[in-house]
A and B are shown apart, each in its own frame.
Chain A
Amino acid sequence: MTHLTYIIPAYAIAVLLAGGFAVDAWLRMGRARRKLAAIDPRFMR
C-alpha cells in the first residue's frame, strides 16, 4: 500500500476519536443511571 504514513494516522484519529466519545458516553450514561436509581428507584420504569 502506498501513502501508509498518511493513511494510518487518518484512520487512527478516526478510531480514537469515535471510540473515545463512545466509551465516554457509555460510562456517563451508566454513572447517571446508577446514581438516579440510588436516589429515586421509581423514576427508572
Chain B
Amino acid sequence: MDASTEFAPPPGPLPGGGRNLHRFANPGRFLRLSGRVLPWVSAIALIATAIGLVWGLGFAPADWQQGDSSRIMYIHVPAAMLSYMGYGSLALCAVLSLVWRHPLADLAAAEIGPVGAAATALCLATGSLWGKPMWGAWWVWDARLTSVLVLFFLYLGQIALVRAFDDPQRGYRAGAILALVGAVDLPIIKYSVDWWNTLHQGSSITLTGAPTMYVGILYPLIPMTIGMVAGFIAITLARTRAAVMERRIRALLQARARTEAVGQEAAI
C-alpha cells in the first residue's frame, strides 16, 4: 500500500468513519480509545517515576566531583527529552493539520504546547540549579543553552498564536506554521554541543559509543525517563480528551441556540 492510497480522502463528510488516518479523527472513537489507554499510561507514569525517584535520590552513587548535585540530572535529562519530543510531536501535528486537515491534530497541538513549554522551563530551571554550583554561573549564552531558550520562546509563540484569533481555525493554522518553521531549532539543539564549543557538556549517552556514565548512576535514569515520558503522554491525552469534549459541548450548545432562535422566530 503506498502513501497515496493510505491517506486517501475519507468517503463522505469528515467525521463519517473514514479509513486509516481519518479513523482516529472520529472524536467518539478517539474518546473511547484514549479512555481505555489513559489509566494504563498514568499507572506506568506513577510507578516508574516513583521507582526512579527512590533509586536516583536514595541509592545511586554521587559523582566524585559533582557530589550529590549530579542527582539533578535525573530530572534535567528527561525534561530535556520531553521538551524535544514535545516539539517534535507539535511539528507532526502541524503536518497532519496542514496537509491532511486532520481535525484532532489541531486540538492535540493546542494541548501539547503548554505541556511542552512546561517541560522546557523545567529543563532550563534544573539546568540553572546545577550550573550555579558546578560551573559557577546560573546562565551562559552558549549554543546549547541559547538554542533551548529559543525552543521555549517557540513554544510560547505557538501557545499565543493558537489562541490569538476569534476564528480558532486561523489560530490553528498560524500555530502549525510556526511549529513547523521552529522545527529547524531541533537539530541545532541536538548538535549544538558537537558543532560548536559550548560550556554545556557533550552527550553522555550516544547511539555509537559506551555511555560515559557509570552504570550505577545511569540505571535510575531509565525508570525516570520512562515515567516522565508516560506522564507527558498521560497529561496531553487527558487534556486532548477534555478539549474534544469541550468542542462537542460548544457545538451542541450552538446547535441548540440556533434551533431555539428558529423556534422563537416561528412563534413571532
A and B touch in the complex (CB under 8 A): yes
A36 B132 Cβ-Cβ under 8 A: no
Q: Does B130 contact A (CB under 8 A)?
A: yes
Tell me the complex Cα distance, A14–B231, Å: 12
Closest-CB distance, A15 to chain B (whole angstroms): 9
Query: Beta-carbon contacts of A1-25 to B below 8 Å, as 1s and 0s?
Result: 1111011011101100110011001
Which one of B115-123, B150-158, B213-221 is at the A interface?
Answer: B115-123
Closest-CB distance, A18 to chain B (whole angstroms): 6
Number of A residues near B (Cβ < 8 Å) is 29
Instruction: Give the dominant DSSP class at A's interface.
Output: helix
Q: Which of A1, A6, A35, A43 contacts B132 (CB 8 A)?
A: A6
B69 A2 Cβ-Cβ under 8 A: yes
Size category of the B interface is 35 or more
A14 B126 Cβ-Cβ under 8 A: yes
A3 B69 Cβ-Cβ under 8 A: yes
Q: Does B98 contact A (CB under 8 A)?
A: no
Tell me the complex Cα distance, A26–B118, Å: 17
B242 A40 Cβ-Cβ under 8 A: no
Q: Does B62 contact A (CB under 8 A)?
A: yes
Q: Does B102 contact A (CB under 8 A)?
A: no
Closest-CB distance, A44 to chain B (whole angstroms): 8
A3 B79 Cβ-Cβ under 8 A: no
**Given known A17-B122, A40-B248, contact A6–B242 (CB-CB < 8 A):** no
Q: Which of B62, B238, B252 contacts A40 (CB 8 A)?
A: B252
Tell me the complex Cα distance, A44–B71, Å: 45
**Given known A10-B75, A21-B235, A25-B238, contact A1–B68 (CB-CB < 8 A):** yes
Tell me the complex Cα distance, A45–B130, Å: 49
**Given known A6-B132, A7-B69, A39-B252, contact A28–B242 (CB-CB < 8 A):** yes
B246 A6 Cβ-Cβ under 8 A: no
Q: Which of B67, B118, B130 contacts A2 (CB 8 A)?
A: B67
**Given known A2-B68, A7-B68, A10-B125, contact A29–B241 (CB-CB < 8 A):** yes
Closest to A29 in B: B242
A-contacting residues, B228-256, CB 8 Å: 228, 231, 234-235, 238-239, 241-242, 245-246, 248-249, 252-253, 256
Tell me the complex Cα distance, A29–B67, Å: 42
Q: List 17 A-B contacts (CB under 8 A).
A: A3-B69, A7-B68, A7-B71, A7-B72, A10-B76, A10-B130, A11-B57, A13-B126, A18-B228, A22-B231, A25-B235, A25-B238, A28-B239, A29-B239, A29-B241, A32-B241, A43-B248
19 more contacts with CB within 8 A, not counting A11-B75, A14-B75, are: A3-B68, A3-B69, A6-B130, A9-B129, A10-B76, A10-B126, A11-B57, A13-B125, A14-B79, A25-B235, A28-B242, A29-B238, A29-B241, A35-B245, A36-B245, A36-B248, A36-B249, A39-B256, A45-B32
